[in-house]
């Protein structure tokens, strides 16, 4: 059975997914920081990672994750660090974070090949550029959106202007601080 590709994102009420923890220098700040998703939200994120067997990143998100996760300890960090990671970049020549493979110029072709392999879920954390590149080719099977009760007024959105897709709601759940999980399958 081929693997599913899942885009999992923190999103503001106005659709922004850019720089939720303030590591990208966007000027948006740590917009998820004032909120707590609570034990149920934490469990959801832990279970999501446990069910995956690979991660796919755009360059900016990869750089942010690679700077932090190798320095952390605990079960979640160990899982994050041990999984195979794929980073899409035309300029990156080497990747220091263990188990990382660089995807070069043919994002769609290489992701189609990864998707065709047997395996468990492949997660895309953030990485608007990757989602924007894969969505028109129907390569993303599910969108997991943790909607935070904040309006940012600017920033990269998950779905760029002109994007069209029909999805089915698979789950709607409320976590602490008014955070809502929406799971859509394509």
Q: In this predicted model, what pLDDT tens digit does every residue of 95-146 receive, in sequence order?
A: 889 899 999 888 999 999 999 988 899 999 988 899 999 999 999 999 999 9
CATH of residue 76's domain is 3.40.430.10
Total domains present in the chain:
1
Evaluate if residue 17 carries a pLDDT over 80. Answer: yes
Q: In this predicted model, what pLDDT tens digit does every residue of 148-178 receive, in sequence order?
A: 999 999 999 998 888 888 899 999 999 999 9
User: CB-based contacts of 27: which residues, under 8 Å, 6+ apart?
Assistant: none
Domain housing 46: 5-185
Q: In this predicted model, what pLDDT tens digit does every residue of 39-55 receive, in sequence order?
A: 999 999 999 999 999 99
Give this prediction's pTM.
0.92
> For 97, phi and psi rounded to 5 degrees?
-70, 125
pLDDT at 177: 96
């Amino acid at each position: 059975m081929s693997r599913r590709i899942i885009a999992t994102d923190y999103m503001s009420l106005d659709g922004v997914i850019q720089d939720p923890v303030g590591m990208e220098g966007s000027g948006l700040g740590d917009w998820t920081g004032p909120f707590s998703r609570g034990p149920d939200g934490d469990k959801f994120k832990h279970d999501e990672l446990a069910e995956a067997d690979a991660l796919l990143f755009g360059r900016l998100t990869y750089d942010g994750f690679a700077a932090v996760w190798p320095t952390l300890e605990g079960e979640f960090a160990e899982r994050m660090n041990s999984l195979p990671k794929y980073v899409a970049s035309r300029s990156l020549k080497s990747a220091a974070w263990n188990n990382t493979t660089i995807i070069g110029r043919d994002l769609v072709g290489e992701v189609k090949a990864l998707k065709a392999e047997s395996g468990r879920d492949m997660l895309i954390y953030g990485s608007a550029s990757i989602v924007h590149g894969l969505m028109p080719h129907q390569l993303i099977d599910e969108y997991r959106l943790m909607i935070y009760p904040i309006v940012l007024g600017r920033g990269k959105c998950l779905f760029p202007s002109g994007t069209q897709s029909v999805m089915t709601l698979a789950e709607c759940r409320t976590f602490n601080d008014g955070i809502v999980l929406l799971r859509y399958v394509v």
